[in-house]
Copies of this chain bind each other. A is one copy, B any other.
């Protein structure tokens, strides 16, 4: 297990991988994306997602992130994917979801929130590889009612390209 050094006193403690929870949120066959107001990848588009908090279930965390970043009340449908990005010690749980009410708006960490038709997704402006994977995996499985969650594409590490 890798060790973390307290930034204040230099004491060594143990570091753990972090869990990111997020969603591909669909409304009337269009996909909700948020344009990031913060670094990293400010101005790029991404899915509503963020770090799971202590004492929170992954499902509750994914709903909270959609509320915080897109002011969107969402209903989770199923677990779409489990990705891992070992370089930065992240495990990502991505859900398939829909808007529970037809409302959304930019939260404090977003510059803009929009629904995109598949053909209009701004691929070169997607913030992270794993957001692209989740969109592509959503597309491949969007009619499935029971799916095995996807994992990283073969050999992909999730490092930003």
Chain A residues 45-82 with CB under 8 Å of chain B are 51-59, 78-79, 82
Q: Is A108 among interface residues, defined by CB-CB distance under 8 A? A: no
Decide if A16 is an interface residue (CB 8 Å cutoff): yes
How many identical subunits does the complex contain? Answer: 2
In the complex, the answer to whether A8 meets B11 with C-beta atoms within 8 Å is yes
Contact A55 B87, CB 8 Å, known A18-B16, A79-B148, A147-B148:
yes
Give A147's nearest chain B residue, CB to CB.
Answer: B148
Contact call A57/B86, Cβ cutoff below 8 A? yes
Q: Is B86 within 8 A of A2, CB to CB?
A: no
**Complex formed: what's the CA distance from A68 to B7 in Å?**
32
Q: Is the CB of B54 within 8 A of A149?
A: no
Partner pick for A19 among B16, B86, B151, CB 8 A cutoff:
B16
Partner of A16, one of B1, B51, B78, B147: B51
**A55 to B52, alpha carbons, bound, how many Å?**
18
**B91 and A52 within 8 A (CB):** yes
A13 pairs with B7, CB closer than 8 A: yes
Q: With a CB–CB cut-off of 8 A, which chain B residues contact A93? A: 82, 91
Assembled-state Cα–Cα distance A159/B86 (Å): 29
**CA of A53 to CA of B16 in the docked complex: distance in angstroms?**
6
Task: List, sorted by A's number, 15 A–B pairs whose CB atoms are closer than 8 Å.
Answer: A6-B9, A6-B11, A7-B11, A8-B9, A16-B16, A17-B52, A17-B55, A19-B19, A19-B91, A55-B89, A56-B86, A56-B89, A82-B93, A91-B93, A146-B147
